[in-house]
Amino acid sequence: MKNNKQNLSNYDGAAGGWGAVMSSAAHVLTQKAPVRDTIAMFKMNQDKGFDCPGCAWPDPEHRSPMELCENGVKAVSWETTSKKASPEFFAAHPLNVLWEQSDYELENHGRLTHPMKYDIVTDTWQPVAWATAFAEIGGVLRQLQPDQVEFYTSGRTSNEAAFLYQLYAREYGTNNFPDCSNMCHSPTGAGLGASIGIGKGTVELSDFEAADLVICVGHNPGTNHPRMLSTLREVAARGGKIVSVNPLRERGLERFSFPQSPTDMLTGGYTEISRDHYQIRIGGDAWFFRGVMKSLLELHEHRLANKASPVLDQAFIDSQTSGFGALVDSLQRLHWDDIEQGAGMSQEEIAGFASLYARHQRVIICYGLGITQHRNGTQNVQQLINLLLLRGNMGREGAGICPLRGHSNVQGDRSVGINEAPDEAFNLRLEKHFKIKVPRKHGHSSVDSIRAIERQESRALICMGGNLAVAMPDPQRTFPAMRSLDLQVHVATKLNRSHLLAGKNSYLFPTLGRTERDVQLSGVQSVTVEDSMSMVHASTGSLKPASPWLKSEPAIVAGLARATLPASPVKWEEMTADYSLIRDNIEAVFPEFREFNQRIEKAGGFRLDNPASRGVYRTATGKATFIPCTTEAIDDRGLPADHLVLATIRSHDQYNTTIYGMNDRYRGVTGRRDVIFLSQQEADKRHLQQGDVVNIVALEANGDTRDGRVMLNQTVHIVSMATHSVAAYLPEANILLSLDAYDEESMTPAYKSVPVLISKVS
C-alpha cells in the first residue's frame, strides 16, 4: 500500500491562540446558527446562564465576559444547530442506509424533533405521540422482572433528572444503573473511597493559587478541559512548577496562548506551561509511581543518615494514616530492573522526579483517563494518593488530589443516587421519605449490563442520553446484544449509532439541551450540576427549544414513571411542574444538600462537604490509608516480544463518540482519523516510516488473536511518544478492545492498555 503522508505534520504553535478562535468560528458557521450561538456564548458559565455541556472544570469566581473555550463553543454550537433530523428525514432514511454513514454524519443531521418509534417493516423511525409511547413502554415494563431492565445514565443529565430517574428505577424494583462514569472515573470512586474515605477530588480552584507543584498525569487539558489551561497558566506565571507524566507530549501541557488575553493574541505570545515531561510507557503508571516512592524512601534514609532534613512527613504519617509499613515492605521487594522495564524509564529519571517532588511543599496531582482506564485503574489512583500522603500533601491548602472528571455532571449524577450498589442508610432514607419499597440487591454497572443483555437475562434498556453501544468495548459483542433486546428507550438530542441498533419495541425520545429554555407549569425552570471540584450550581437555558415537541429529561422520567407505576405515591407531576420541589426532595434524602434551593441562589452555588479536604478521613480506620499495588496493567508473560500496548484517545475535534470534525490540530492531523501514533524508535524497529499503512491486531492475554479484533489500513504518524506504546482514536479503535479486560475493583474497561501487534501492509 502506498505511503500516505497527506495531512499529517507536526504542530508547532501553542495551544489556544488564534487557532482556537478560528476553529470556534468555523464550527459555529457549519452548524448554521450564528445568532443563536452568539447569544448562547454570552450566557455560558455565567451567573443565571447555563452550564457548558463540555467538561466538568469549575468556573472561576471572577468570570470573564465569556467564560468559554474552543471546545465549549463546539459543544454548544453542536447542540444549538439549526439542522433538524425530522420525521420526513427518518421516513426517507431506513436504518440500514443510515448504518453506512459515519458517526460524524449521523449526529450532523441535526437535532431530533419528535418522539419516534421503530417500525420493523419499513426499518425506519416513525413519529409517535408521547402519551402512546409512555403507555406502551409502561405496559412492556410491567410484564418484565425489574432486574431484567437496565437504566443507563450519561453524565450530561442534571441532578434533578438523575434523582427522578434513580427514584423511578428503584421504585420499579432494580439497582441496575450502568453509567458513563463506569467507563471513566469509577476507579476514582473506588480508589479514593478506600484511601481517603470519599470518592471525589479534594482540591478547589483556590488551591491552585497556593500550590508550588502541579503534577498532571494521563490527561489532556488542551483538548478535554481547555479552561483548565488558564488555571495552569496562572500557576506557571507566578513561578509554580508543572510537570506531566504522559506517553504523549500533549501541546496543552507545553505552552498556551490565552484567547482571552489581548497581549497573547496581538503579540503571538504564550505562557510556557511545562518543560518537564515524563514519557512513561502506556500502562506504566503504577510502576513509575512505585519507583518514585521507592526513590523517595531511599532519599529519606540517605538524608537521615547525613543528619539532613527528612523527606517524609513522619508526623503526618504517624497521626493521620495507616498502612505505611505494608507500603514500605511492598516497595522494598521491588527490583529496579522491573520498574525501569515497566515504566519505560531509567532509574535516574525516576529518581529525578522523586527529588523534584521532595523539593516542593504544596503539591497537587491532577489525573485523567491515562490513570483510570487500565486493569489496575483503581490501584493506579491509589498510588497517586500514596505519593501525596508520604509528604502530607492532603487535607491542607495548596495540596491534594484532582481527578479531571468527564461529562459536565457525571459527578452530580452519582451524588444524587445513580449507583448500582447503594448503602442501607440511603435505602432506608429513600423508603421513609417517599413511602415506597426499594430493592436491596445490588445491580449492574456498564460491563455487567452488556453481559447480562448478551446472555439474554436483561431484556430492556433505557438510556438517559449517551451512546452506550458505541462507548463500550467490543462492538462485535455489544452490537448484536443490543439488537436482541425486547425494549429500548433512548432519550437523546441527536441521532447516533446506538439508535440504529433498534429492534422490537424501540423508542427514540428528543429532549431539551442545556442551552434551551425549560418551561413547565410553574414557569421557567433551572436545573443544577456539580463540577469536578464538588461545586453545585444552577444552570438555566434561555434559547428557544429546537422543536415544540421536545420534553425535558425530568418530564420524560416522570411520564415513564407514571405509566409504569400508576399507583406510585410519588408526586411525579408536582415535581415536574416545579423543579424546586425535586431539590427539596434531594435535600430530604441527602443531608449534604441542606438548604439546596437557597444555596443555589448565590452566584457560583455551593460546595458539597468534602471531609478529606479538611483532613477528616471516613475510611474503615478513620485514617488515610496507604494501599500497595498488587495488579499490573499489563501482564506480558504469554505475549510476543514485539507486542505494543495501545491506548484509545480523543482527538481535538470530538466529544466522546460525538465527532465534530476530522482535525486533531495539536497533534498535526488534518481531515482524517485513520491514524495511529507511534514513536520514531518503535517505527524504526519495524522498518516503518511516517505515512506507512499498517494493520493492527489485538491480542488476548495469552497472546492469541480473536476473530474480528483487527483494524485495517491505519496510517502511521510518528510523534514524540513513549516506547512500547501506540495510540489510536476512539470509537474507531473500540473494535480492538475486549469486554473481558477491565479493572476488577471498579469494572472500568481497560480502554488504555490493549496488547497489539502491528504489521505493514505491503
Ligand X SMILES: Nc1nc2c(c(=O)[nH]1)N[C@H]1C(S)=C(S)[C@@H](COP(=O)(O)OP(=O)(O)OC[C@H]3O[C@@H](n4cnc5c(=O)[nH]c(N)nc54)[C@H](O)[C@@H]3O)O[C@H]1N2
Binding site for ligand X (CB under 6 A): 54-55, 71, 107, 154, 156, 180, 183-184, 217-220, 223-225, 245-248, 250, 280, 282-283, 285, 368-371, 373, 404, 406-407, 464-468, 471, 491-494, 496, 511, 513-514, 553, 647-650, 654-658, 730-731, 733-734, 737, 751-752
Min separation Cβ 155 and Mo ion, Å = 7
Between 587 and 732, whose beta carbon lies closer to ligand X? 732
With CA atoms as reference, report the closest residue to 76 among 113, 23, 28.
Answer: 28
- How would you list the strands of the sheet with 400-403, edge to edge? 276-278, 241-245, 213-217, 363-367, 400-403
Min separation Cβ 143 and ligand X, Å = 26
Min separation Cβ 308 and ligand X, Å = 32
Between 181 and 515, whose beta carbon lies closer to Mo ion? 181
Q: HSE-up of 390 (CA within 13 Å, CB side)? A: 28
Min separation Cβ 78 and Mo ion, Å = 17
Helices 377-390/186-196 angle, 10° precision: 40
The helix/strand/coil state of 73 is: helix
185 CB neighbour count, 10 Å cutoff: 36
With CA atoms as reference, report the closest residue to 612 among 57, 181, 190, 195.
Answer: 195
Cα dist. 729→396, 672, 679, 711 in Å? 38, 11, 16, 11
Partner from ligand X, Mo ion, none binding residue 715, C-beta < 5-8 Å depending on class = none
Partner from ligand X, Mo ion, none binding residue 404, C-beta < 5-8 Å depending on class = ligand X
Write the CB contacts of 563 (distance below 8 Å, at least 6 apart in sequence).
134, 135, 137, 138, 139
Q: Please say whether the dihedral angle defined by the alpha carbons of residues 657, 663, 665 and 666, taken in this order, is positive or negative.
A: positive
Q: Please give the DSSP secondary-structure letter assigned to residue 592.
A: G
Partner from Mo ion, ligand X, none binding residue 525, C-beta < 5-8 Å depending on class = none
Between 434 and 579, whose beta carbon lies closer to ligand X? 579
Assess contact for 308 and 319: CB atoms under 8 A: no
Between 282 and 311, whose beta carbon lies closer to ligand X? 282
Cα dist. 104→88, 100, 661, 743 in Å? 20, 12, 7, 30
Min separation Cβ 322 and ligand X, Å = 27
Between 492 and 683, whose beta carbon lies closer to ligand X? 492
375 CB neighbour count, 10 Å cutoff: 24
Between 207 and 664, whose beta carbon lies closer to ligand X? 664
Give the CA diameter of the chain.
83
Q: Please give the DSSP secondary-structure letter assigned to residue 44.
A: B
Partner from Mo ion, ligand X, none binding residue 647, C-beta < 5-8 Å depending on class = ligand X
Residues that bind Mo ion (CB under 5 A): 184, 406
Min separation Cβ 543 and ligand X, Å = 13
Partner from ligand X, Mo ion, none binding residue 513, C-beta < 5-8 Å depending on class = ligand X
Q: Which residue has the cell 518514585?
A: 292
Between 427 and 670, whose beta carbon lies closer to ligand X? 670
Min separation Cβ 719 and ligand X, Å = 10
Between 187 and 240, whose beta carbon lies closer to Mo ion? 187
With CA atoms as reference, report the closest residue to 554 among 463, 436, 427, 464.
Answer: 464
Helices 159-172/553-564 angle, 10° precision: 10
Min separation Cβ 733 and Mo ion, Å = 16
Q: Is the peptide bond before 127 cis (omega within 30 degrees of 0)?
A: no
Residues 408, 584, 599: CA angle, nearest 5 degrees: 60
Partner from Mo ion, ligand X, none binding residue 282, C-beta < 5-8 Å depending on class = ligand X
Min separation Cβ 130 and ligand X, Å = 15
Grid cell, residue 59, equals: 468556573
Between 224 and 320, whose beta carbon lies closer to ligand X? 224
Min separation Cβ 140 and Mo ion, Å = 30
Min separation Cβ 59 and ligand X, Å = 15
Partner from Mo ion, ligand X, none binding residue 177, C-beta < 5-8 Å depending on class = none
Q: What are phi and psi of 609, to 5 degrees?
A: -60, 135
Min separation Cβ 708 and ligand X, Å = 16
Partner from ligand X, Mo ion, none binding residue 200, C-beta < 5-8 Å depending on class = none
Assess contact for 381 and 405: CB atoms under 8 A: no
Between 184 and 394, whose beta carbon lies closer to Mo ion? 184
Q: Please give the DSSP secondary-structure letter assigned to residue 421.
A: S
Between 434 and 751, whose beta carbon lies closer to ligand X? 751
Min separation Cβ 301 and Mo ion, Å = 41
Min separation Cβ 96 and ligand X, Å = 20
Partner from Mo ion, ligand X, none binding residue 496, C-beta < 5-8 Å depending on class = ligand X
Torsion angle (degrees, nearest 10) of CA 482, 484, 489, 493: 40
Residues 103, 107, 108: CA angle, nearest 5 degrees: 110
Between 551 and 562, whose beta carbon lies closer to ligand X? 551
Cα dist. 478→487, 501, 740 in Å? 16, 10, 12
User: How far apart are the C-alpha atoms of 480 and 458, rounded to whole Å?
Assistant: 14
Partner from Mo ion, ligand X, none binding residue 342, C-beta < 5-8 Å depending on class = none
User: How far apart are the C-alpha atoms of 64 and 53, rounded to whole Å?
Assistant: 18
Q: Which amino acid, 489? A: V
Partner from Mo ion, ligand X, none binding residue 379, C-beta < 5-8 Å depending on class = none
Min separation Cβ 75 and Mo ion, Å = 14
Between 17 and 439, whose beta carbon lies closer to ligand X? 17
Between 340 and 413, whose beta carbon lies closer to Mo ion? 413
Grid cell, residue 162, equals: 438523575
Partner from ligand X, Mo ion, none binding residue 213, C-beta < 5-8 Å depending on class = none
State how beta strands 675-678 and 725-729 pair. antiparallel
Burial code of 229-257, b = ≥16 C-beta within 10 A, e = fewer? bbbbbbbbeeebbbbbbbbbbbbbbbbbb
Between 124 and 181, whose beta carbon lies closer to Mo ion? 181
Min separation Cβ 118 and Mo ion, Å = 28
Partner from Mo ion, ligand X, none binding residue 192, C-beta < 5-8 Å depending on class = none
Min separation Cβ 569 and ligand X, Å = 27
29 CB neighbour count, 10 Å cutoff: 12
Between 406 and 412, whose beta carbon lies closer to Mo ion? 406
Partner from Mo ion, ligand X, none binding residue 73, C-beta < 5-8 Å depending on class = none
Q: What are phi and psi of 723, to 5 degrees?
A: -75, 170
Between 384 and 627, whose beta carbon lies closer to ligand X? 384
